């Protein structure tokens, strides 16, 4: 399937570096899609954006925007707009002049400039500030001016490189919301780079997870969260992190320090000679009673409460079973105490099982 933006077999190796920064990167983006590239620092996210906007060239592979291979096209002729985290507004110009600047340079007629600034400032609700200089604005308002400046170019593609990382958490949340609203209103194809999984989950139509320059998974936020392709994706997405346990099958059961957590009748293909890593998110572990109520052989795990953290609406319970520690989200009525031994069950349908060597999620394959 051919997309609106097609990145094909991209490799990027910087001079002097031993390793490739980007390796065999292939991605199709549809017109109007909001794609988030998510990965830890150093995974190659900015390099990827720089190649798409033309500040860097791929070592090999092609970049196709709206049916044109743009590898040899200058950045200014690619019809893409980039919004950076430091939004670099001109301090001596008013908001109006900042938004109009690019169009003025390109000698756009005055009437068109006026109309476009009006349109962008209405969409982003910054009309009251048009005559004001940027230093009078809050971080969030400045970020909106930077977005307006990018919008008036009506680019084929918006590129955003961690545009929210300088904002405090409240403002991050509201600007995040504004960017998705803006996307809904004007439907511009957008590639948004971040290392923040919450931003990615809340904004994206499609998330691309990158690690060490290699795509780990491409999917909707729900697919990525519920069915991670491998252990890296599973533990990178979601806080508190997915719990993981190294376990060997014993006869036909999975045990954690002697307690059976599952029998294997639902997964007949697992090899009793091999070890596996099972993963379960804190919200998929359920409290079933204190130890006195515990019924033997019901696939329950006994563990001791080491710490309780109230997070508003629910608590995070830190549990220990001998040398194994894990966390559980808890929002039931019964009050729990540190030091208490409780019984919990794992929701088997939600458990991921990873091969201990390849780290691939076997339940997804």
Which residues of this protein are in contact with ligand ADP, per CB under 6 A?
Answer: 14, 17, 21, 39, 41-47
Rounded to the nearest whole angstrom, what is the least distance from the CB of residue 241 to ligand ADP in the complex? 20
What is the crossing angle of helices 110-123 and 95-105, to 10°?
A: 130
- Write down the least CB distance from residue 40 to ligand ADP, Å: 7
- Alpha-carbon distance of 253 to 301, in angstroms, equals 13
Provide the 3-class DSSP secondary structure of residue 321.
strand
Residue whose CB is less far from ligand ADP, 218 or 260: 218
CB nearer to ligand ADP: pick between 15 and 135: 15
Is the distance from CB of 348 to CB of 262 less than 8 angstroms? yes
Whichever of 18 and 271 has its CB closer to ligand ADP, that residue is 18
Distance of closest approach, residue 21 Cβ to ligand ADP, in angstroms: 4
Give the CA diameter of the chain: 80
Beta carbon of residue 55, minimum distance to ligand ADP (angstroms, whole number):
10
Minimum CB distance to ligand ADP smaller for 42 or for 187: 42
CA distance 51 to 46: 9
Q: Which residues contact 243 (CB under 8 A, 6 or more apart)?
A: 279, 280, 281, 282, 285, 326, 327
Q: Comparing C-alpha atoms, which of 180, 96, 84, 81 is closest to residue 131? A: 96
Q: How far is the CB of 13 from ligand ADP (least distance, A)?
A: 9
DSSP bridge partners of 342: 290, 303
Closest to ligand ADP by CB, 12 or 78: 12
Return the closest-CA partner of residue 292 out of 281, 284, 300: 300
Quick check: 291 and 300 in contact, CB under 8 A?
A: no
Beta carbon nearer to ligand ADP, 43 or 361? 43
Distance CA 240, CA 217 (A): 20
Q: How far is the CB of 130 from ligand ADP (least distance, A)?
A: 34
CB 360 within 8 A of CB 230: yes
Helix (H, G, I), strand (E, B) or coil at 23: strand
User: Which of 42/258 has CB closer to ligand ADP?
Assistant: 42
If the CB atoms of residues 197 and 284 are measured against ligand ADP, the closer one turns out to be 197
Residue 23 Cβ vs ligand ADP, minimum distance, rounded to whole Å: 12
CB of residue 198 to ligand ADP, shortest distance in Å: 17
Q: How far apart (Å, rounded) are the C-alpha atoms in residues 155 and 158?
A: 7
Q: Which is nearer to ligand ADP, 113 or 215 (CB)?
A: 215
Task: Say if residue 286 is exposed, middle or buried (CB neighbours under 10 Å; 0-12, 13-18, 19+).
Answer: middle
Q: Least distance in Å: CB of 287 to ligand ADP?
A: 39
Distance of CA 171 to the CA centre of its chain: 18
Q: Which helix (H) or strand (E) holds 68?
A: strand 68-69
Give the C-alpha separation, 33 to 21, whole Å.
25
Q: How far is the CB of 45 from ligand ADP (least distance, A)?
A: 4
Q: Which is nearer to ligand ADP, 33 or 162 (CB)?
A: 162
Question: Distance of CA 142 to CAs 65, 97, 119, Å?
Answer: 29, 13, 17
């Amino acid at each position: 399937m051919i997309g609106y933006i097609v990145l094909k077999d991209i490799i990027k190796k910087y001079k002097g570096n031993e390793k490739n920064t980007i390796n065999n990167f292939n991605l199709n983006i549809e017109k109007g899609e909001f794609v988030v590239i998510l990965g830890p620092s150093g995974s190659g996210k900015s390099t990827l954006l720089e190649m798409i906007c033309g500040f860097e060239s791929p070592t090999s592979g092609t970049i196709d925007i709206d049916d044109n291979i743009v590898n040899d096209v200058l950045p200014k002729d690619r019809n893409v707009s980039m919004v950076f985290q430091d939004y670099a507004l001109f301090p001596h110009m008013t908001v109006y002049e900042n938004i109009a600047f690019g169009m003025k340079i390109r000698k756009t007629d005055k009437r068109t400039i006026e109309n476009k600034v009006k349109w962008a400032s209405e969409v982003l609700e910054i009309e009251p500030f048009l005559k004001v200089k940027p230093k009078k604005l809050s971080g969030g308002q400045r970020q909106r001016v930077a977005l307006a400046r990018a919008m008036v170019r009506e680019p084929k593609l918006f590129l955003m490189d961690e545009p929210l990382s300088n904002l405090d958490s409240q403002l991050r949340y509201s600007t995040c919301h504004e960017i998705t609203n803006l996307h809904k209103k004007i439907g511009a194809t957008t590639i948004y780079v971040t290392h923040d999984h919450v931003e990615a989950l809340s904004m994206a139509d499609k998330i691309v997870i990158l690690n060490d320059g290699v795509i780990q998974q491409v999917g909707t936020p729900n697919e990525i969260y519920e069915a991670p392709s491998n252990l890296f994706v599973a533990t990178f997405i979601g806080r508190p992190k997915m719990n993981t346990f190294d376990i060997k099958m014993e006869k036909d059961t999975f045990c954690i320090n002697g307690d059976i957590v599952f029998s294997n009748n639902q997964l007949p293909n697992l090899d009793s000679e091999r070890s596996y890593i099972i993963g379960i998110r804190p919200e998929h572990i359920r409290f079933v009673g204190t130890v006195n109520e515990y019924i033997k052989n019901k696939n329950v795990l006994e563990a001791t409460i080491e710490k309780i953290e109230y997070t508003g609406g629910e608590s995070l319970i830190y549990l220990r079973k001998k040398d194994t520690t894990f966390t559980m989200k808890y929002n039931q009525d019964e009050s729990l105490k540190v030091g208490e031994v409780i019984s919990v069950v794992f929701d088997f349908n939600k458990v991921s099982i990873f091969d201990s060597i390849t780290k691939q999620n076997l339940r997804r394959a």
